[in-house]
Amino acid sequence: MEEIYLWIAENMSYGVITLGMAIESSFIPFPSEIIIIPAAYVAINQGTMSLPLIVLFGTLGALIGALINYGLAYWLGRPIIHRFADTRLSHMLLIDRPGVEKAEAYFAEHGAVGTFVGRLIPAIRQLISIPAGLARMSMPKFILYTSLGAGAWNTVLAALGAFFGHVMPEEELIAQVQRYSDYIKYAIAAIVLVGLLYYIYLVVKANRETALRK
């Protein structure tokens, strides 16, 4: 993984970000934190990249990868997807039937909004596009909720990379991202979900105050 990180860091560009996030968001296991965090680190320390554009191209890549999963599930259907999930190849890609079924159950329970929230949950992120495709979810809705979820995730990752850019040297960044990869994922999910809940609270509060004034 360190070799991959070093290659990404040395060849960092918006194209690499888009490609890396497309891979991360499809059925190939690839951690998003080794793409967006280093990119934001480069933006802060070298000034050759823009944080908003990092988030934009990262989100575009995530959408491309999600559309691949959505399209495969849409056209192949549940029986073929489930059979594939039982193969050795799918297990090498960290995809198995229990994981697919868990994502399906999550989507069935939360509906279209589950596509947004599912993008923020590490164990569901890469798989949530599959049940959306199997259910033949409306393409505009899928694109909207996927983009919002991926954008929120990438924004927090970029903010974290910018923070690291101010407090640690690059060689330490590599070690810290590798060491705390799982913790970073769950921390980001928690931050975004808390922010979402707070936003919902503000909307509900504003609606109540409007209703009372009437």
Percent of all residues in the chain with a pLDDT value above 90, rounded to a whole number: 13
pTM of the model: 0.74
Residue found under tokens 């939360």: 110
Residue found under tokens 């090498």: 92
Q: Per the structure, how many domains does the chain have?
A: 1
DSSP assigned state of 14: H
DSSP assigned state of 49: S
Render pLDDT for 3-51 as a digit per residue (tens, 0 to 9): 666 677 777 889 999 998 998 887 666 777 788 888 898 888 887 889 9
Q: What is the extent of the structural domain holding 195? A: 2-213
Burial label, 108 (beta-carbon count in 10 A; 0-12, 13-18, 19+): exposed
